[in-house]
A and B are shown apart, each in its own frame.
Chain A
């Protein structure tokens, strides 16, 4: 069924696409190792965050916290804000986003297009600082609704009810699930679902490693672990630098024709590492990974150009 009553009804049920050329060749006599990309850019505003935004807003309406005409507040580096802005516009809410100043200009343009108000947080301290400032503002404006994706169980639930079951239905033979680590909602929700279905499924986190400015915390106590994070759901966790991410996102484009955002490069890098290990061990693997969004919002960085390099995103939040 491809007819929907409204845009938000079309959320989810994104395609799982095989990567026949990027998947490494198995050794003679060994079972195949296959990579599968879950194209989350096929959601209404073009990212996986539509799932989070819709579930958080629905939960807040149901609980009575979100009333007609209310103002929603959220710390975001872009995608969640864009998703919330679209739904808020359609349902008649106001949205205030706290966003680090070092995110790409496209993200600001998209947020403003749907009528969101932006409060910038200083680049130094990265998303941690945006979260801290949003918490302060939430305390000053008790009438605003603070959805808080890093601690809102509806974020995890979106992936437990959506992303996870969709992947399992399309790929019951899944052996590994690889996703980005931000709010941790995708990994917690889909990871938990997949491991309930098959406890042998490995859940692998790929964390973007930014330039130094993002780690410029004033002290270590300003570090941050999302409230949603439960280490026991994850089996391995990788930190992927800008250079590897950019190399992989260009490879995905050039070899398989998939135009993804830069954080997907980090996820693909981890997925390829797992695939190579499986080939070396002569075991079969069906590795599903998340394409968080498409590359449109990152074109201004120039990393997709033939002469583009990872330095272009130094000092910028690219996920």
Chain B
């Protein structure tokens, strides 16, 4: 199965792993494959995103602006042209 090339936006706090690149490309037909590919290209990054095989509590990942936790989590599927954004969890809204 051919794997889609995906653009991944990296938050400031994780850029030390990507040589300060704001956006990187990686392959994967699911989020879990994408994270494996990211970790292969940027060693240590995977461990910052996952803990015991689950997304870390303070990490949010979005596929085309939608939170993956409501799209099947790590098994969420990806297709060519999708964009993935990684963000730390912050307080916000109209507080």
Contacts and interface: CB of A to CB of B under 8 A. Distances in A.
Interface of A: 47-49, 75-80, 126-128, 130-131, 149-150, 180-184, 186, 205, 207-210, 212, 214-217, 219-226, 231, 234-241, 261, 263-264, 292-293, 317, 319
Interface string B64-95: 01110110000000000000010111111111
Contact of A237 (B48, B56, B57, B69): B69
A126 B90 CA distance: 8
Contact of B67 (A184, A223, A237): A237
A79 B92 contact: no
A235 B70 contact: yes
Contact of B11 (A181, A215, A221, A222): A215
B66 A236 contact: yes
B13 A238 contact: no
Contacts of A226: 91
Binding site of A, secondary structure by majority: helix, strand, loop or mixed? mixed
A243 B59 CA distance: 23
Interface string B38-61: 000000000010000000111110
B93 A183 contact: yes
A234 B60 CA distance: 15
Contacts of B57: 223, 225
Contact of A263 (B48, B88, B93): B93
A210 B48 CA distance: 21
19 contacts: A80-B95, A127-B95, A180-B94, A182-B93, A182-B94, A205-B67, A208-B93, A209-B65, A210-B90, A212-B12, A215-B12, A216-B12, A217-B13, A220-B13, A223-B59, A231-B69, A239-B60, A239-B62, A292-B93
Given A220-B48, A223-B58, A128 B65 contact: no
With a 10 A CB-CB cut-off, give which of B11, B48, B65 has the most chain A CB atoms. Answer: B65
Contacts of B92: 77, 126-127, 180-182, 207-208, 210, 214, 317, 319
A130 B12 CA distance: 20
B58 A238 contact: no
A224 B95 contact: no
Contacts of A76: 95
Nearest to B13: A217
Contact of A215 (B56, B70, B87): B87
Which 6 A/B pairs are nearest by Cβ-Cβ distance? Answer: A182-B93, A223-B58, A292-B94, A127-B91, A237-B67, A223-B89
A223 to B, nearest CB: 3
Contacts of B66: 236-239
Contacts of A128: 90-91
A96 to B, nearest CB: 16
B58 A47 contact: no
Contact of A224 (B58, B59, B69): B58
Given A220-B48, A223-B88, A181 B93 contact: yes
B94 A293 contact: yes
